[in-house]
Amino acid sequence: MAAPDPSELPIDTGSVPASESLFARAQAVTPGGVNSPVRAFNAVGGTPRFVASAEGAWLTDVDGNRYVDLICSWGPMLLGHRHPEVEAAVLAAIGRGTSYGTPTVPEVELAEEIVARTPVEEVRFVSSGTEATMSAIRLARGFTGRDVIVKFAGCYHGHVDSLLAAAGSGLATFAVPGTPGVPASSTELTLVLPYNDTAALEAAFAEHGPRIAAVITEAGPGNMGVVPPAPGFNRLISTLCAEHGALFVSDEVMTGFRASKEGHWGLDGKVEGWVPDLLTFGKVMGGGFPAAAFGGRAEVMQALSPVGPVYQAGTLSGNPIATTAGLATLRLATDEVYDHIGRAAEVVKTAAAAALTEAGVAHRVQSTGTMFSVFFTESPVTNFDEARTTDETAYRAFFHAMLADGVYLPPSAYEVWFLSSAHDDEALDAIVSALPRAAKAAAAATDRGITT
């Protein structure tokens, strides 16, 4: 795991760190210098590190600094970076050509693997999680012949117009656009409800039931930090959808093949005996390449073109390199991998809680399956409003102290801390050693402490 050869560094920046100089160049040609907003460090301040290479649980930046990676590409790198078998499969696939626009073997095999591990009967590949949820919504509307979509505040499903919606003025009123550029007409058929609120969900069905095409939810939300569904909440969605002829779209882009071997469904639906009508996947199933999918009951999936009338397509959908990487990753994602990540999560959660308690910083560690996050707040977090009580000032100081000590946390207070099967004792020790100083930095930066 050597630092990159300086001769391979992209520019000679003299005494200015290469990341800083690259960020300046990037900002001149790309909005904010990044290709996805959270990478810009706006929430924590400072300069994002430009990564030159990665291996296992470690990132190396263009200045030669090494960091334990707690971003893992925002979820995909379940096996860590450069897993030898994934890399060998990808290199072999590249040697056969990179894209043909015809059916190929790995896309059939990856579809079979997904069908074997999840409750979907048929699956269609796309290139991003956003495309997966957008297509699932279109399919749900086409299948049911209805237009209204229900979503929950704090659940993120990619940058789909109709799902970039903020709650309207009342609970059962339709949404307003969550960003400029989304016309009101794109969100006026979206109902946004508070997460984990069974009364609001029942009221929405009571008032709008015959118009609801689908309820979409993160199977186990991770995009407002980890906010587990209350016991029975996903089951209630399933029951109400079935009673009212709507479809239950369970977004497993983040949780799929990560929260457990069978995704979040393996933790609730499988145990309780219900199955969503449609599921969306991404991240882990692409093995670090742009691949995502949506799937579900054959009867629903058969409404898709070319069998049925609902149109959906993609030039690079099912790309042979991406599906080869995903297939190799899923085949290697055994029970041992999930057990390892679960144990690593326990080590980090326990050490983080101990360090923050010792420093007197209010915090709350929450988990769903092997996924977890740390809120800098004292009370339990069950929905988006409660998530927003997190102390962003404390997180900012904590984040930068961890970074200075070689741990790359997500640059936002509302994210999962992602681990991989490559997070071994060396990586965990580095995290655990960095925590006490970071906790003290958080305590010094804020006047909110633990109340007793």
* 157 touches ligand PLP (CB under 6 A): yes
CB 44 within 8 A of CB 395: yes
Could you give the CA distance from residue 451 to residue 361 in angstroms, rounded to a whole number? 9
Binding mask 50-79 for ligand PLP (x = CB under 6 A): ------------------------x-----
**Residue 332: CB minimum distance to ligand PLP, A:** 21
CB 395 within 8 A of CB 413: yes
Q: Which residue has the tokens 């299948």?
A: 143
Candidate list 128, 234, 383, 420; residue touching ligand PLP; CB under 6 A: 128
Structure tokens at 302: 């058969």
Q: Identify which of residues 76 and 106 has a Cβ nearer to ligand PLP in the complex.
A: 76
Could you give the CA distance from residue 293 to residue 133 in angstroms, rounded to a whole number? 9
DSSP string, 401-436: HHHHTTEE--SSTTS-----TT--HHHHHHHHHHHH
Q: Is 63 a catalytic residue?
A: no
Burial of 231 per CB tally in 10 Å (0-12, 13-18, 19+): exposed
* 287 touches ligand PLP (CB under 6 A): no
Sequence-separated contacts (24+) of 263-272 with Cβ below 8 Å = 263/117, 263/118, 263/219, 264/219, 264/220, 264/368, 264/369, 265/118, 265/119, 265/219, 266/369, 267/220, 267/368, 267/369, 268/219, 268/229, 268/234, 268/235, 269/119, 269/234, 269/235, 269/238, 270/119, 272/235
Q: Identify which of residues 117 and 151 has a Cβ nearer to ligand PLP in the complex.
A: 151
Which amino acid is it at 211?
R
Structure tokens at 358: 């010792």
* 294 touches ligand PLP (CB under 6 A): no
Candidate list 133, 135, 317, 446; residue touching ligand PLP; CB under 6 A: 133
Q: Is 151 a catalytic residue?
A: no
Q: Which stretch binds ligand PLP (CB under 6 A): 50-58, 153-161, 340-348, 429-437?
A: 153-161
**Residue 36: CB minimum distance to ligand PLP, A:** 7
Catalytic residue among 61, 161, 197, 251: 251
Residues 205-264 that bind ligand PLP (CB under 6 A): 218, 223, 251, 253-254
Which amino acid is it at 303?
A
Q: Is 5 a catalytic residue?
A: no
Binding mask 328-347 for ligand PLP (x = CB under 6 A): --------------------
Q: Identify which of residues 293 and 397 has a Cβ nearer to ligand PLP in the complex.
A: 293
Q: Identify which of residues 130 and 135 has a Cβ nearer to ligand PLP in the complex.
A: 130
Q: Identify which of residues 254 and 300 has a Cβ nearer to ligand PLP in the complex.
A: 254
Residue nearest ligand PLP, Cβ-based = 129
SS3 category, 215: strand
Candidate list 130, 162, 312, 366; residue touching ligand PLP; CB under 6 A: 130
Could you give the CA distance from residue 441 to residue 423 in angstroms, rounded to a whole number? 25
Active site residues: 156, 251, 283
Kindly list the residues in this chain that would bind ligand PLP in the complex (CB under 6 A).
Answer: 74, 128-130, 133, 156-158, 218, 223, 251, 253-254, 282, 292
